[in-house]
């Protein structure tokens, strides 16, 4: 395989898995306006342009300050269904075959929305994503700036629906909210057979200590972001050895910090870490998954081989069964072969 730069067409068609995607982060202005009208919620804007103008931030905290109030338009089970379905339909156009999507129940229950509206709406959409050629599962995230007691109460409220999500995660504002604060609730989730992941956001105070905690104390199966691990060779070796995936989000990184961390992502890839590329909150950061691959390619000059490794990593780091992973990996090999054959035929045709 030549180390040529992948085209947009190649990236769009490449089968891939999305492992770091907040369903609430897919709320496009058009849907936000439609839901505001449907539910009689005054959001203070009446056009797409006005809503887009509010999507302005330069740090994790300022992003979250826009993100949570926007969720007021999500009330009924159908709202969550419509939100998630719109995302799955959009993801399919980017070659996505598998999604393990986050949702934040506390962002809704804290405003009086019943947890079943959230879980049942998202879960019905995840099932129906099969119509778009996507297998989808859900990850229930706790808000780390809420108390550990609130996380525990949320898990207990969600456990009757345990068959409708495959794991738990931790998101929101990392400052002063280290992983160890949630050790008990994550231990309970593990004992209930759930998979574990946690955000270790970019360039946080205590990033390395938090990454150490998620690996050594919480014993997560995956890390969301986690790119600062590059600063600590021993931790890099630990994730490499354990095959723990890092769900990186280049476009989001460039909004909440000063750059997309392409150098760090590529360095980790080169060191054999299961780095993956994802979109985080695409409606807010303006990039779905293919845009994230393309931004990274443009910034770092990655060739086809590395991009194929990233796509393969996205299935290997997923929580699919081994036989399902193998099918997706074979589909990637087939795609790359057909693409090379088509390129070779085009070159041959040009030379006659």
Angstrom distance (rounded) from CA 76 to CA 114: 9
Question: Of the candidates 16, 22, 98, 312, which one interacts with ligand ADE according to CB under 6 A?
Answer: 22
Residue 29 CB, shortest distance to ligand ADE, in Å, is 17
Q: Which listed option, ligand ADE, Zn ion, none, makes contact with residue 172 (CB within 5 to 8 Å by class)?
A: ligand ADE
Q: Which listed option, ligand ADE, Zn ion, none, makes contact with residue 252 (CB within 5 to 8 Å by class)?
A: ligand ADE
Q: Which listed option, Zn ion, ligand ADE, none, makes contact with residue 77 (CB within 5 to 8 Å by class)?
A: none
Q: Contact between 280 and ligand ADE (CB under 6 A)?
A: yes
What DSSP assignment string belongs to 284-315?
HHT--HHHHHHHHHHHH---HHHHHHHHHHHH
Question: Of the candidates 79, 82, 264, 281, which one interacts with ligand ADE according to CB under 6 A?
Answer: 281
Q: Within 13 Å of residue 281, how many CA atoms lie on the same side as its CB? A: 25
Residue 104 CB, shortest distance to ligand ADE, in Å, is 7
Q: Contact between 280 and Zn ion (CB under 5 A)?
A: yes
Q: Indicate the Cα dihedral angle 65, 70, 72, 78, nearest 10°.
A: -140
Residue 301 CB, shortest distance to ligand ADE, in Å, is 26
Residues 6+ apart with CB under 8 A from 95: 11, 12, 13, 14, 15, 16, 290
Q: Contact between 226 and ligand ADE (CB under 6 A)?
A: no
**Alpha helices (H) along 98-219:** 105-109, 115-128, 148-158, 183-191, 207-213
Q: Do 191 and 156 contact (CB within 8 A), yes or no?
A: no
> What string marks each residue from 189 to 208 as x (binds ligand ADE by CB under 6 A) or -?
----------x-x-------
Q: Could you tell me the two tokens for 6?
A: 């992948």
> What string marks each residue from 238 to 267 as x (binds ligand ADE by CB under 6 A) or -?
--------------x---------------
| Nearest residue (beta carbon) to ligand ADE | 171
Between 255 and 293, CB nearer to ligand ADE: 255
Residues 6+ apart with CB under 8 A from 298: none
Residue 225 CB, shortest distance to Zn ion, in Å, is 7
Q: Contact between 100 and ligand ADE (CB under 6 A)?
A: no
Angstrom distance (rounded) from CA 120 to CA 80: 8
Q: Which listed option, Zn ion, ligand ADE, none, makes contact with residue 201 (CB within 5 to 8 Å by class)?
A: ligand ADE
Beta bridge partners of 86: none
Q: Contact between 174 and Zn ion (CB under 5 A)?
A: no
Secondary structure class of 186 (helix, strand, coil)? helix
DSSP state of 247: E
- Helix H or strand E segment including 205: none
Angstrom distance (rounded) from CA 218 to CA 182: 8
Residue 24 CB, shortest distance to ligand ADE, in Å, is 7
| CB burial readout 20-32, b (16+ within 10 A) else e | bbbbbbbbbbebb
| Nearest residue (beta carbon) to Zn ion | 280
Angstrom distance (rounded) from CA 305 to CA 336: 10
Residue 102 CB, shortest distance to ligand ADE, in Å, is 7
Residue 207 CB, shortest distance to ligand ADE, in Å, is 13
Between 77 and 281, CB nearer to ligand ADE: 281
Q: Contact between 100 and Zn ion (CB under 5 A)?
A: no
Q: Contact between 25 and ligand ADE (CB under 6 A)?
A: yes
Q: Footprint of ligand ADE on this chain (CB under 6 A)? A: 22, 25, 60, 171-172, 199, 201, 252, 280-281
Contact residues toward Zn ion (CB under 5 A) are 280
């Amino acid at each position: 395989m030549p180390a040529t730069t992948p085209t947009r067409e190649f990236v769009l068609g490449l089968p891939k898995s999305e492992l770091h995607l907040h369903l609430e982060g897919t709320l496009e202005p058009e849907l936000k306006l439609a839901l505001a009208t449907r539910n009689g919620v005054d959001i203070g804007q009446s056009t797409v342009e006005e809503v887009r103008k509010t999507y302005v931030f330069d740090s994790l905290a300022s992003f979250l300050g826009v993100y949570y109030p926007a969720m007021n338009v999500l009330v009924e089970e159908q709202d969550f269904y419509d939100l998630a379905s719109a995302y799955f339909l959009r993801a399919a156009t980017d070659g996505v075959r598998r999604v393990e999507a986050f949702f934040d129940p506390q962002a809704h229950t804290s405003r009086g929305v019943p947890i079943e509206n959230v879980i049942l709406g998202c879960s019905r959409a995840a099932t129906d994503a099969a119509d778009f050629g996507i297998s989808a599962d859900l990850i229930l995230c706790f808000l780390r700036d809420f108390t550990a007691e609130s996380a525990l109460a949320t898990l207990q409220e969600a456990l009757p629906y345990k068959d409708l999500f495959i794991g738990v995660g931790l998101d929101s504002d990392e400052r002063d909210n280290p992983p160890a604060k949630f050790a008990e609730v994550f231990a309970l989730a593990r004992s209930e057979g759930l998979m574990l992941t946690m955000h270790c956001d970019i360039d946080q105070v205590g990033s390395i200590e938090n990454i150490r905690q998620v690996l050594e104390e919480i014993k997560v199966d995956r890390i969301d972001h986690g790119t600062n691990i590059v600063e600590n060779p021993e931790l890099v070796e630990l994730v490499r050895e354990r095959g723990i995936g890092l769900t990186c989000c280049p476009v989001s990184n460039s909004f909440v910090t000063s750059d997309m961390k392409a150098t760090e992502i590529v360095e980790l890839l080169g060191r054999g870490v299961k780095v993956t590329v994802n979109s985080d909150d695409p409606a807010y950061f303006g990039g779905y998954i293919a845009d994230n691959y393309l931004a990274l390619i443009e910034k770092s000059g990655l060739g086809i081989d590395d991009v194929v490794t990233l796509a393969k990593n996205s299935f290997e780091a997923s929580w699919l069964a081994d036989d399902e992973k193998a099918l997706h990996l074979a589909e990637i090999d087939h795609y790359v072969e057909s693409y090379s054959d088509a390129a070779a035929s085009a070159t041959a045709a040009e030379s006659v």
